[in-house]
Amino acid sequence: MSEKIKKNMFWLWVSSLSSSGSTFIFWVIASNIAGPGSIGLVSAISSFSIILFTISHLEISQGLKRHISKAAAENHWPQFKQQTTSALIFSLLTSTLILAFVYNPFFDIFEIVGIDKQFVPIVIMIIFTVGIQSITTTVLVSSFNSKWVFIPTVVSYGSRIPLLFLFLLFFQNEISIVWSYSLTFLVLSILLLGIILLFLKKKEGVFISNTKNNLSIILKASIPKWIPTIIGVLGMQIGVLAVFSIKGTVEGGLYYIPLSLFTVLLLFAASINNVNFSVFSGMKEKIDREKILQKTLKLSFLVTLPIGSVIFFNTSLIMQIFGKGFESSSEILGIFVLSFPLVLISDSIFYLLYARAKDKEVLFLGLFGTVPRLILYFILVPEFGGIGAASSIVVGTGFQVALTFWYLHKMKIKLPLLEFTVISIIPFAIGFAIQQTNIGILGSFVGLILTYIILLRLHIIKEQDIGMVVNMIFKNKSSTVTEKICSNLKKIYLM
């Protein structure tokens, strides 16, 4: 794996970590101030906005990524520059069209969903800014400059908490939370857009040229992914709206926090998949794609599953952090955590198939995951609320993974499933054993350490795995640091 890929992956991971940490702190403070009802309102606005954005965006950022990744690799900067500008213009246009459709005088979609008209400006802001954010992040990742995502992410997500306290001085709790949460998207998109303009200004070529042809090329790559993405987003976000509409704002908040925590933990894998997409798009050799897939998927398992086990055995304690009433959400969080291995595999293969232009397979994967979810939402949510919605998501993921393995068989791609199974079972087995001692969360962190010790002793974690992580962090001294770490581990008989 090249130095560029490792560094790109590292900076995306650090950016994801900072945004996740800031979001976690924000939800802890906001939920303790306002309770589940206000969180449920934010969840409905956010989910509704994401659905509209996905419909309007036509997956232009993913179609863009496929082409500008190649342009960057070949130093074809005029094409890179012009396609980026074309995508930005197109995103602004389609966002305007979807908003014109939704905010019309003939039928009130906001009333159908249950969102008050005073929050229309927030929906508008989110749709426009998330489109800009998606494209600008794609540009930085595709040009192997993801380190430039980090500072804007820290600044924008870090601004949520100060904005929350500022708004609380003048407005009601729910309005303060909604605005402080949503303004992050505006801050981040402005910062990223400024960085992109400075970056592109230094490159040869004009900003706008051959726009029609560029859009045609990008859309040919994006449209096949658009429908599966809509299907996937509906599969996740309709659950939020279903709980909000059927069971009310309080139940919506109780469901949304566990879902957000689940999403936060998966951000690490998502950052790897974003880099992998650019890599897979430019690779011609199947054996190279298979090796990178195996290495990065294993890394995702090694990082998320041990942490997931700590969360699983402390769901009640974690949910209590968010204030009174959230303890009942612990079962929902537990259901999500158990689905981690399935989600990691299905998402990674999804990106691989799309990067290789396997559009039919991508569509069927999306349908296999979403159709069962949509059906089950209307069966389980009225009776079981958030638990029913979470169960629906997991069942849909199971169907998606079944088809994923069939595609892997057809492509003759082998994954180290025995290793993945061991990595999945050991932390949960240790967590279960420690839970019987009633030591508490301290015991879970001891279990986390024991997990990695056992994985080292079983040679599941190898020197190359340690080297991969070290190489993501250190540039010039990575080999030396890796050698020292492995040498010390061998001295204490862990390797």
Ranges under pLDDT 70 in the chain: 1-9, 268-289, 354-357, 468-469, 471-478, 493, 495
- Give CA–CA dist 24/258, Å, rounded: 11
Query: For the packed helices 340-355 and 417-435, what is the interaxial angle rounded to 10 degrees?
Result: 150
Chain-centroid distance of CA 465 in Å reads 23
Q: Is residue 440 part of a domain?
A: no
Q: Is residue 264 part of a domain?
A: yes
Q: Is residue 492 part of a domain?
A: no
Count of structural domains, the chain? 1
pLDDT at 126: 92
Owning domain of residue 268? 3-415
User: With the CA atoms of 256, 257, 260 and 266 taken in that order, what torsion angle do they form, in degrees rounded to the nearest 10?
Assistant: -120
Q: Is residue 12 part of a domain?
A: yes
- Give CA–CA dist 260/27, Å, rounded: 9
Q: Is residue 480 part of a domain?
A: no
pLDDT at 193: 92
Q: Is residue 351 part of a domain?
A: yes
- Give CA–CA dist 225/283, Å, rounded: 19
Burial 419-449 (b: 16+ CB within 10 A, else e): bbeebbebbbebbeebbeeeeeeebbeebbe
Other residues' Cβ atoms within 10 Å of the Cβ of residue 456: 18
Cβ atoms of residues 341 and 301 within 8 Å: yes
Q: Is residue 494 part of a domain?
A: no
- Give CA–CA dist 325/302, Å, rounded: 33
Main-chain phi, psi angles of 130, to 5 degrees: -65, -35
- From the list 194, 203, 189, the residue with the least C-alpha distance to 68 is 203
Cβ atoms of residues 368 and 313 within 8 Å: no
DSSP labels, 304-362:
HHHHHHHHHTTHHHHHHTT-TTGGGGHHHHHHHHHTHHHHHHHHHHHHHHHHTT-HHHH
pTM value surpassing 0.75: yes
pLDDT at 162: 93
> What percent of the chain clears pLDDT 90, i.e. is strictly above it?
18
- From the list 485, 118, 479, 144, the residue with the least C-alpha distance to 282 is 144
Residue 387 CB contacts under 8 Å (≥ 6 apart), including other chains: 331, 332, 335, 380
Q: Is residue 456 part of a domain?
A: no
pLDDT at 208: 81
pLDDT at 189: 93
- From the list 346, 340, 390, 387, the residue with the least C-alpha distance to 368 is 346
Other residues' Cβ atoms within 10 Å of the Cβ of residue 202: 7
Residue in the block written with tokens 């042809």: 213
Cβ atoms of residues 251 and 390 within 8 Å: no
